[in-house]
Amino acid sequence: MKNFQLPLHKSEIPTPALLIDFDLFNQNLAEMARFFKDRSAKLRPHFKTHKCPIIAKKQVEAGAIGITCAKLGEAEVLVEAGITSILIANQIVDPLKIRRLAELAPETELIVAVDNPHNIAMLSAMAVEAGSLIYILVEVDVGLHRCGVQPGQAALDLARYIRTQPGLEFAGVLGYEGHTVFVLDAEERKKQADQAMLELTSTAQLIRQAGIPVRIVSSGGTGTYNFSGVYPGVTEIEAGSYVFMDTKYRAQNLPFQCALTLLSTVISVPSPEKAILDTGMKAITIENGLPEVVSPGGVHLEKLHEEHGIVSVDPALIQLKIGDRVEMIPSHICTTVNLHDHYYVMEGEWVKEIWPISARGKFQ
Amino acid sequence: MKNFQLPLHKSEIPTPALLIDFDLFNQNLAEMARFFKDRSAKLRPHFKTHKCPIIAKKQVEAGAIGITCAKLGEAEVLVEAGITSILIANQIVDPLKIRRLAELAPETELIVAVDNPHNIAMLSAMAVEAGSLIYILVEVDVGLHRCGVQPGQAALDLARYIRTQPGLEFAGVLGYEGHTVFVLDAEERKKQADQAMLELTSTAQLIRQAGIPVRIVSSGGTGTYNFSGVYPGVTEIEAGSYVFMDTKYRAQNLPFQCALTLLSTVISVPSPEKAILDTGMKAITIENGLPEVVSPGGVHLEKLHEEHGIVSVDPALIQLKIGDRVEMIPSHICTTVNLHDHYYVMEGEWVKEIWPISARGKFQ
């Protein structure tokens, strides 16, 4: 970020650039905080969406009990930012990574998921060596069929084993209903999410019946926060995308606004019906479909190359010229953010602040 | 990159990680250098593939006459690395970017593509203000239908106009036959590339006939370097992917090896037939299809989530356990490299060097 003096006008932003609409972003934060204010379940929002410590701190200020993340490298960024309770909702199995994890732990409440006894033994050994305490959640496969042990006895067996291992404290269970969060019909989505939460909370209950306290029952995405977040026995929700939203989540009519856009510039106008943008797949992702142009009207994204976007133009509505700006909503916010180093935080036509995406690429 | 002391064993590399096979990489460099050694056309390889100044310097040492790049931010990295002749094969139209370009120019031979007279006037004004000279190529649409003017008179008109503008020097024409580079059948690919080069070189000839010297006729990708690179009148080839290759280019039986792999770690083994990797779409891209597992045998990538990879395992061939490494070849090298900050340069099982991907994300 060289030569930037704020305030910076929108027309001066170098593109491609990610813009946060500060008002809409704050509305999203407030709406989610309002939902969880008087509930027994609390919000521990997912860092993988925004990867920005400034936003993580705002989420905690708004009532979140801590932050969820996907990777050790992200947890390191969060610790450095002063977040005091961090859940890595994933397995850390590499010996050198476990060492980094154990050495991080004294500085914060660090919670990690497991689904394998060998992994538990390694975590214990390194925690003892580092003189630290690592909090452990048993990951349960509630239907996503990714990581996790089966609900019920397998999870109880791991919980018991964790309790025999020094340096570790069994803290509860985690089960992500990721197979349900994009079910379009809300009723069907609730039905599937409830089934997943039944399996997760029954497992927690089985462990409690064995005399083992279960402090944390963690689940939930932006598509299911209002189902899993009110399911009896669930204590934490990991939703992330609600801060920004994208065209895929927008289709669900959730009470959140699309607060993040990609600003691009027209670099070539081969004909009145066609223009070329300076934005390709290296700046915005397409695995959930093409992004959607929101401004100006009459412009439609047809294709993304590696470094270019190709738009069709309705000449009856708009005449594009080189240098014009085209703004679009990503179809997948998390992978798009992962391509950028900064957010330009907008109040109207002005950049209010520039926020670093400090954990971009911190997947190791 | 904290706490790394070389040599580092492959088992100590934190994953996901990009590995360069140093021998294969050098073979690719040598093969391309050999091809261009005694030809009138020369190589100006594309930086967008590897985004690494160390590799750019090795390409120049191997005979490249300079480097091609896609973005001003990449050119700035190349100037800082000491590359003395840089082609930005793209339009720079934003006034603040043109200022950055003009201020870079005194330090190097900086060449940029144009397809619009207004853009030319702005480039001229800023070059005069900065006291610099910018070299200009007229981009010609040779069939890709992206940027560029039509072959023939339109290009001559722009060349004439450039010659009236102070601070600019008309240097030639550029036409990328990107619509042909992935045609699988080599004969058909050559036919289409030849047609594109006919249009480009005829345009150069038309400009020369008007008394205007044409020093540069630039084109070519990894799929067409051996066709366009021998086409009479073409002076420069912009191929980039040859340094690393990927599964899409491998299908063309070119004399280059897949020299770059993605190393991942097994973090969960739900069954003998299935394992979960620590690598998802944030570390390797899928727009050209799923990556291909090359090691160990008996493992097949089924799906990439955002942070996870899901592989099927043939239990008759291999039993995976947590911590095991799985190595794969990307399907699209350029967008995959754009997700990473470092290359681990391998000699056998050892990391010889770690090379920064300095221009990752430099799309502004």
How distant is the Cα of A248 from the closest Cα of chain B, in angstroms? 15
**A48–B322: do the CB atoms touch at under 8 Å?**
no
**A267–B340: do the CB atoms touch at under 8 Å?**
no
- A-chain CB neighbours of B310 within 8 Å are 146
Residue A105: pLDDT band by 50, 70, 90 thresholds? Answer: confident
Measured between alpha carbons, how far is residue A321 from residues A248, A271, A309, B91, B360 in Å? 30, 10, 15, 13, 29
**A340–B323: do the CB atoms touch at under 8 Å?**
no
Check residue A6 and give its pLDDT: 87
- A-chain CB neighbours of B95 within 8 Å are 323
**A361–B338: do the CB atoms touch at under 8 Å?**
no
Q: Which residue of A has its CA nearest to B268?
A: A147
Average pLDDT over residues A4-26: 94
Residues B210 and B12: beta-carbon distance below 8 Å:
no
Measured between alpha carbons, how far is residue B72 from residues A324, B47, B54, B110, B179 in Å? 18, 12, 18, 10, 24
**B14–A339: do the CB atoms touch at under 8 Å?**
no
Percent of chain A with pLDDT over 90: 97
- Using DSSP's 3-state secondary structure scheme, residue A241 falls into helix
Q: Is the model's pTM score more than 0.90?
A: yes
Residue B11: pLDDT band by 50, 70, 90 thresholds? Answer: very high
Can you tell me which residue has the tokens 């609730």?
Answer: A190
Q: Which residue of B has its CA nearest to A12?
A: B96
Q: Give the up-direction half-sphere exposure of residue A188: CA atoms within 13 A in the CB hemisphere.
A: 7
**A146–B338: do the CB atoms touch at under 8 Å?**
no
The partner residue sitting opposite B268, judged by closest CB among A12, A115, A281, is: A115
- B-chain CB neighbours of A145 within 8 Å are 270
Q: Which residue of B has its CA nearest to A322?
A: B93
Q: pLDDT tens digits for B232-271? A: 999 999 999 999 999 999 999 999 999 999 999 999 999 9
- A-chain CB neighbours of B97 within 8 Å are 14
How distant is the Cα of A39 from the closest Cα of chain B, in angstroms? 30
- Contacts of residues B284-287 at CB distance under 8 Å and 24 or more positions apart, as own/partner, are B284/B16, B284/B309, B284/B328, B284/B330, B284/B336, B284/B339, B285/A281, B285/B330, B285/B331, B285/B332, B285/B335, B285/B336, B285/B339, B286/A287, B286/B331, B287/A281, B287/A286, B287/A287, B287/B331, B287/B332, B287/B335
**A287–B282: do the CB atoms touch at under 8 Å?**
no
Can you tell me which residue has the tokens 């990107």?
Answer: B178
Q: Which residue of B has its CA nearest to A279?
A: B363
- The vertex-A42 CA angle with A41 and A47, nearest 5°, equals 135
How distant is the Cα of B304 from the closest Cα of chain A, in angstroms? 11
The partner residue sitting opposite A307, judged by closest CB among B70, B141, B306, is: B70
Average pLDDT over residues A163-178: 98
The partner residue sitting opposite A322, judged by closest CB among B119, B269, B321, is: B119
**A116–B322: do the CB atoms touch at under 8 Å?**
yes
Cα distance between residue A328 and residue A291, in whole Å: 6
How distant is the Cα of B269 from the closest Cα of chain A, in angstroms? 8
The partner residue sitting opposite B14, judged by closest CB among A96, A266, A279, is: A96
Cα distance between residue B222 and residue B256, in whole Å: 10
**B96–A145: do the CB atoms touch at under 8 Å?**
no
Cα distance between residue A349 and residue A156, in whole Å: 55
Whether pLDDT at B3 is above 60: no
How distant is the Cα of B264 from the closest Cα of chain A, in angstroms? 10
Residue A56: pLDDT band by 50, 70, 90 thresholds? Answer: very high
Cα distance between residue B213 and residue A335, in whole Å: 46
**B267–A91: do the CB atoms touch at under 8 Å?**
yes
Cα distance between residue B172 and residue A170, in whole Å: 69
Check residue B107 and give its pLDDT: 76
Q: pLDDT tens digits for B87-125? A: 999 999 999 999 999 999 787 999 999 999 999 999 999
Average pLDDT over residues B39-58: 98
Q: Which residue of A has its CA nearest to B70?
A: A307
Buried b (16+ CB within 10 A) or exposed e, B111-127: bbbbbbeebbebbbbbb
Check residue A106 and give its pLDDT: 80
CB pairs under 8 A between A and B: 148
By DSSP bridging, strand A342-347 and strand B342-347 are unpaired
Instruction: Please provide the average confidence, as pLDDT, over all residues in chain A.
Output: 97
Whether pLDDT at A3 is above 60: no
How distant is the Cα of B340 from the closest Cα of chain A, in angstroms? 6
Check residue B7 and give its pLDDT: 86
The ipTM (two decimal places) reads 0.97
Q: Which residues pair with residue A351 across a beta bridge? A: A8, A346
Average pLDDT over residues A142-164: 98
